[in-house]
């Protein structure tokens, strides 16, 4: 806990106290431009890697930066974040960011049909990207496992972008050109960040 306390003290004196023009308006409301989906991996904090200030991005982090299809009875934590960001906060861009050496993607690619799950939640969650896994297995079966993982990192982002379009308020925003969907990939091994649109 001492690390967290000293970290906050440093933030308070070096950032919070030094930027009243940034933090004062945030006391009343937030108007983020972005909804970011990023992995929960401790190596890939999007605010740090993208240089975002507080108030710029409404952020959802989970295993593999997965976005499930619209369903009112399942994955409501993700659905409620999307709905609030789009309908209440009026974000303009949704970005789904995959990353290099992702454990969630490795777990997805390692899944064997018919085998028992090792975890209570992880395998069921990463199955959201099953169609991406199938595509990589079908098209890249001759490549080494690590290379397949690297390809799947981006293909899983594409599945999440497609899944975003199943949310009626996202679909409407895209159709009205008030909302844009963007894929991203952060390679922390080589220090690269790529973006694309489907």
CA distance 11 to 101: 29
Annotated binding site for Zn(2+): 39, 41, 99, 102
CA distance 71 to 79: 8
pLDDT of residue 114: 76
Asked if 108 contacts 152 with a C-beta cutoff of 8 angstroms, the reply is yes
What spatial distance separates the first Cα and last Cα of the chain, rounded to whole Å?
43
For the chain, 198 residues long, the average pLDDT of each consecutive 10-residue run is: 96 96 96 98 96 97 98 94 98 98 96 82 94 96 96 98 98 98 97 96
pLDDT of residue 178: 97
Percent of the chain past pLDDT 70, that is, above it, reads 100
The radius of gyration of the chain's CA atoms, rounded to the nearest angstrom, is 18
Annotated binding site: 39, 41, 99, 102
Output the CA–CA distances (angstroms, integers) from residue 118 to 89, 114, 115, 129, in the order listed: 38, 12, 9, 18
CA distance 37 to 82: 10
pLDDT in tens, 179-197: 999 999 999 999 999 999 9
pLDDT of residue 118: 84
pLDDT of residue 184: 98
CA distance 58 to 46: 11
Q: What are the counts of helices (DSSP H) followed by strands (DSSP E) for the chain? A: 9, 5
| 57-62 vs 34-39, strand pairing mode | parallel
Block residue for tokens 């409301």: 29
pLDDT of residue 5: 96
Enter the tokens of residue 47.
């605010």
Sheet holding 57-62, edge to edge: 57-62, 34-39, 93-99, 180-187, 192-196
CA distance 12 to 60: 24
């Amino acid at each position: 806990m001492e690390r967290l306390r000293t970290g906050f003290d440093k933030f308070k004196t070096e950032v919070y106290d030094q930027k009243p023009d940034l933090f004062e308006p945030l006391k009343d409301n937030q108007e983020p431009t972005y909804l970011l989906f990023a992995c929960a991996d401790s190596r890939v904090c999007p605010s740090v890697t993208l240089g975002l200030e507080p108030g710029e991005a409404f952020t959802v982090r989970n295993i593999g930066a997965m976005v499930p299809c619209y369903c009112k009875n399942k994955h409501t934590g993700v659905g409620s974040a999307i709905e609030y960001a789009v309908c209440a906060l009026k974000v303009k861009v949704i970005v789904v960011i995959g990353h290099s050496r992702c454990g969630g993607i490795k777990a997805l690619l390692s899944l064997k049909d018919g085998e028992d799950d090792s975890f209570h939640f992880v395998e069921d969650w990463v199955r959201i990207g099953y169609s991406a896994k199938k595509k990589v297995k079908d098209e890249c079966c001759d490549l080494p496992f690590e290379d397949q993982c690297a390809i799947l990192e981006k293909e899983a982002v594409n599945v999440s972008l497609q899944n975003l379009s199943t949310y009626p308020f996202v679909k409407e925003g895209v159709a009205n050109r008030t909302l844009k969907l963007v894929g991203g990939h952060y390679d922390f091994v080589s220090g690269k960040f790529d973006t694309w649109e489907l």
